[in-house]
Chain A
Amino acid sequence: MEELVVEVTRTDEKGNPKLQSFNVPKDKVSTVLEALLYIKENIDPSLSFRYSCRMEICGSCGMEIDGKPHMACSTTTESLKGDKIKVAPLKHYNVIRDLAVDIDGFFDKYKAVKPYIIRDDENVKYESELLQTPAQFDEFIDYSLCIKCGLCMAACPIEGSDSDYLGPAPLAAIWRYVADNRDQGAKYRLEIASGPEGTSRCHFVGECTEVCPKGVDPSYAIQKLRGSMVKYEFQSLFRRH
C-alpha cells in the first residue's frame, strides 16, 4: 500500500517541541485533515488539533502546511507535491498543544474594531428591511466572507514583530462595515483604523491576501480604509470651520 509521510511539529503540554512522523495509507485519506484524523484514530490518540466542519467554513483547522498557512480540511493531499507533508502550528500564536494555538488574542482584536452595524435607531421592533441595492451590496460582500480562521495573522510579517498591530482580518472587518450602506458608525471605526494600532503599520506586503482561503483581500481593504480616512479627515476639517 502506498504511504504518505506526515511530519508533525508537536508540542507537549509542558511546551516541549518535537518532530514526529507518521505513515498514513494514501488511499484512506484525501485531505490533510483526514490524514490527521487517521493518525489520531489509528496511530496516536494524543495528537491534538482543532477541526469541525471539514468544508472550509468554520475556520477551525488553520495550520502551517509545507511552510504556508492553510486550512487542513480543504488542502487535498493531491495538491501537495511529493509523499511527505510537513504540518506545524500557525506562526505568531502561542501553541497550546501540538497544532492547537491560542486564538483569543485574535478574537480580542476582532472585538476591538466594533464589528457590528452601528445605527441611531437601535433596539426598536423592526418591521421592514433597510433598502440595499445590489450595487451597494457588492461594495462590502467580499469582505464579509471572512471565516475568522486567522491564517492572515500568521502570514502577516508585521504581526510577527509587532503584536499590538490590529492585523489584516480585523482591519478588513472595519472596511466591511464602513462599506455597508446600512451602517452609520464610520466615524468610530475610522478612528480605530487611524489609531496607533491601525492601518499605518501595514507595509502592503500582501501575504494576507495570498493566504486567505476565502478571497477576502485584506490588503485591498486596508488601502480602501486609508483612502476613506483621508476623505473623512478632509470632511471633518471642513465641518470644523
Chain B
Amino acid sequence: MEKIKEDVLILGGGMAGLRAAIAAAEHNPKLSIGLVSKLYPLRSHSVSAEGGTSAVLNPKDSFDLHAFDTIKGSDYLGDQDAIEEFVRLVPEQIYTTDHWGCPWSRNPDGTISQRDFGALSFPRATFAADKTGFHVMQTLFSRAMKYNIHFYNEYFATKLILNGGQLNSVTTINLRTGDFVVFQGKALIFAMGGAGRLYQFATYAHSVTGDGDGIAYRAGIPLKDMEFIQFHPTGLVPSGILITEAARAEGGYLLNNKKERFMGTYAPHKFETASRDVVSRAIMWEIEAGRGVKGEYGDMEYVYLDMRHIADKLDERLPMITEIAKKFNGIDAHTELVPVHPATHYTMGGIDSNVKTTTSVPGIFVAGENACVSIHGANRLGSNSTNECLALGNVAGVAAAEWAGSHSIPDLDAAQVRDEEKRIWEDMLKRDGGENVAKIREDLRINMDKNVGVFRTADALKNSLKNIAALKERYEKITIQDKASTFNLELEWAFEVGFMLDLAEIITAGALQRTESRGAHYRRDFPDRDDANFMKHTIATYSRDGPVFSYRPVVVTKWQPTVRSY
C-alpha cells in the first residue's frame, strides 16, 4: 500500500477540478496540491461542452436578468440567493481566462463576442466557436503547468473514508500499476462530474459514470435533486454526440417528417430556443404523434435539424458540429438535414452543497456537475454549466486552500483502509457468479432510457425499481474475467457499475415520490407543477436498505413562481 499526502486534494481533472487547483495554488503558493483523476485531465468530459457560457458582460444586460433566466429555466426549483450570488461571480472568470489565453470569439472591435442561446432574455452566451469547453479546458490545463500541482493521472477512486464524521482519506487504484494507493488531504474537493452514462442514448463521454456522487453517497454525504436529469433536444442519431443548442440559437430549425417546423405549437414565442426540457418534450410528442422520421438508423425515430439557411454561419460559428456531421454521419450540414433525438445531457442533482461549495462534512468541498448548489433546479439553462465550473471551481479552490491553511491531516484510519483493500482484491476480483459487468451495465442503461426518460409514470418508475433490484442481485454475482493488475479496465467498470446502480435507484425512487411535473422531470400521471407541495429539494441519504428521503424548501428571494412558458 502506498500513502500520499497533499494539503489540498482534488478529485477530478475536468473544468471545475482544474479551476479549483489553480485557485488553490494562487491563493496559497505554499500548499501542496494533488489532483487525482481516473483519466488524464484533458480527457475529461468538460472538453465536449460546445455552445457557450453565460456571463453578464454587456451594460445593457444585468445580473437580475441572468438570475431570472436561470430561475425560470430551473422551473423555480433553483435557490434564488445562490443564483443571485453565482451570476455576479462569472464575469471575472471570463476576463481571467481571457488573460490566460482562452480564444473567446471576438467582435470586429476586438472585444469578446456573445450570442443568443436557449431561453435567454439577452444574448449573453460567451463562446469560443462551438468548442467552448475544449478551449477553456486547454486554457486551464496549460495554465496549471505554471504551478507545482501534482497530477495523479489514471488513479481510480473507490471510496471516501470518514472517521467520526471527519475527512480521513480516499482510497484509489493506480490503473497503470494496479497498486492500491491511499490519499490524504487537509481539504478535499469533489469535482468528478455528472452521472449521464446511466443512460444509453447520451451526449456524455463514456467516462461519466457518477463516481463522485456514488462515492460521496456511500460515505454518508447526502445527494440532492437526483431525479432531475436533463435531456438535450439534439443528440446526433445514432451516436448521441451533442449538436449544440447554438445551432438553433444561430437560427437552425427543427423539422418533423413532413419537413414542417413544429416548435411554434409548443413554444409560441421562443420556438426552437425555448428551454431544453420544453424542446425535448416537443420532439418526443412529435414522434409519438407519428411525425418522427423512420430512417436509416435502426429503430430510433428522430426529427431533423435544418441549418441549410444558415450555411454561411457554419464554418465560423459552428465548425465542430459541421465537422461532426460530416465525419460521423457523412452529412454536409450546409446542404443536408441532420438527424437528432433528445439525449441525456446533464445531471442537475449531485452532492448537496451551496454557493460556498461546502458539504455536510467540514473540509470537503464540491464544484461543477458533481455539486447540487442548487443553481439549476429542475432544468439547467443552456450556457450555465461551464460558468459554474469556473466560478464555483474558483470558490472551492480558495475555500479548500483556506481550510488547509488551518487544519492538519488526521491519523489514517487503517482499519477502514484495510477493509477497502480487502473488498477490492478479495471480494470484487474473486466474485465468481458468472455475471458479466458490461451486460449488467447495458441492461441498466436500457432500463433508464425506457423507464426514467423524458416522460415518466408511476408504473414505469416502479418497474425500473424492480429492474434495478434485480440488477443489484446480479451485480453480487459478477465475475471479473480480466485478472491482470495493469490497466484492468474491467475492474474499473465493475466499480463504476456499482456506483451507477446506487444512483439509478436514487433517481428512480426520487422521481416516483415527486408526484408533479417540474422542469426536466415530467410525470404523465401528474402533468402539472405543484408548488403547494413541491417547492422543495429532494435529499437522499444512504442506508443499507436503500436511500432515505427528506426534503428542504427552495429559497425564494424576489421571484415568486408563476406560470412558465416560452
Contacts and interface: CB of A to CB of B under 8 A. Distances in A.
A91 B191 CA distance: 34
Interface in A22-66: 30-31, 40-42, 45-46, 48, 50-60
Interface residues of B, number: 62
Most B CB within 10 A of own CB, among A51, A127, A129: A129
Given A52-B206, A129-B111, A136-B110, A183 B145 contact: no
Interface stretch (A110-118, A161-169, A225-233): A110-118
Closest 4 CB pairs of A and B: A131-B110, A13-B486, A41-B438, A126-B95
B207 A52 contact: yes
Given A13-B485, A54-B241, A116-B145, A126 B98 contact: yes
A74 B328 contact: yes
Interface string B439-456: 100100000000000000
Interface stretch (B135-143, B275-283, B495-503, B547-555): B135-143
Interface in B86-103: 92, 94-96, 98-101, 103
12 contacts: A13-B485, A13-B487, A46-B482, A48-B486, A54-B241, A57-B47, A60-B40, A125-B92, A127-B92, A147-B47, A182-B98, A182-B101
A132 B488 CA distance: 47
A124 to B, nearest CB: 9
A126 B99 contact: yes
A239 interface: no
Interface stretch (A95-103, A151-159, A189-197, A198-206): A95-103
Contacts of A104: 153
B106 A52 contact: no
Given A55-B324, A117-B99, A130-B99, A144 B241 contact: no
Nearest to B176: A96
Interface in B1-54: 26, 39-40, 42-45, 47-48
Contacts of B44: 52, 58
Contacts of A40: 438, 489-490
Interface in A137-160: 137, 140-141, 144-148
Contact of B135 (A50, A76, A144): A144
B54 to A, nearest CB: 16
Contacts of A31: 328
B143 A147 contact: no
Given A111-B145, A117-B99, A58 B42 contact: yes
A41 B482 CA distance: 12
A40 to B, nearest CB: 7
A152 to B, nearest CB: 15
Contacts of A180: 101
A107 B40 contact: yes
B110 A116 contact: no
A162 to B, nearest CB: 24
A3 interface: no
A241 interface: no
Contacts of A54: 205-206, 239, 241
Contact of B106 (A13, A137, A148): A137
Nearest to A148: B42
B488 to A, nearest CB: 8
Chain A interface size, under 10 / 10 to 19 / 20 to 34 / 35 or more? 35 or more
Interface string B122-146: 0000000001001100100011011
B85 to A, nearest CB: 17
A177 B42 contact: no
B48 A51 contact: no
Most A CB within 10 A of own CB, among B42, B143, B145, B480: B42
Contacts of B43: 50, 52-53, 58-60
Contact of A45 (B92, B109, B481): B481
Nearest to B93: A126
A23 B138 CA distance: 38
Contacts of A116: 100-101, 142-143, 145-146
A115 B238 CA distance: 37
B58 to A, nearest CB: 12
B108 A133 contact: yes
A12 interface: yes
Interface string B173-215: 0001000000000000000000000000000011100000000
A103 B482 contact: no
Given A76-B328, A114-B145, A133-B106, A53 B40 contact: no
B333 to A, nearest CB: 15
B327 interface: yes
Contacts of A60: 39-40, 43
Given A98-B487, A129-B104, 6 more contacts: A30-B238, A42-B438, A55-B241, A74-B327, A97-B484, A141-B103
B167 to A, nearest CB: 29
B566 to A, nearest CB: 29
